Amino acid sequence: MLAAEAGKEYWWCACGRSRSQPLCDGSHRGTGLTPVPLKLEQDGEVWLCGCKQTQNKPFCDGSHNRL
C-alpha cells in the first residue's frame, strides 16, 4: 500500500529489482523493462502490485493469490 499525494509523480517498479519496492529505484537499467508512471488526482491509499503479475499495472489485482 502507498499513501500517495495528489499531483506527485510516482514510478512503479516493473522489473522486481528495486530495493524500494514497489517503487522504482533505477535498478531496471539494462533489463529492457521500464517503470510505470503513476500520478493521482487526489490524496489517498493505493494498493500497488508487488508480485509483478498483475494485469492492471501498477495496481494489485490479486494475481499473487494464484502464484
pLDDT of 28: 96
CA-atom Rg of the chain in angstroms: 12
Report the pLDDT value the prediction gives residue 16, as an integer from 0 to 100. 94
pTM summary value:
0.89
Q: What one-character DSSP code corresponds to residue 58?
A: T
The predicted-structure confidence for 2-55, as pLDDT tens digits, reads as follows 999 999 999 999 999 999 999 999 999 999 999 999 999 999 999 999 999 999
Q: From CA 26, how far away is CA 65, in angstroms rounded?
A: 28
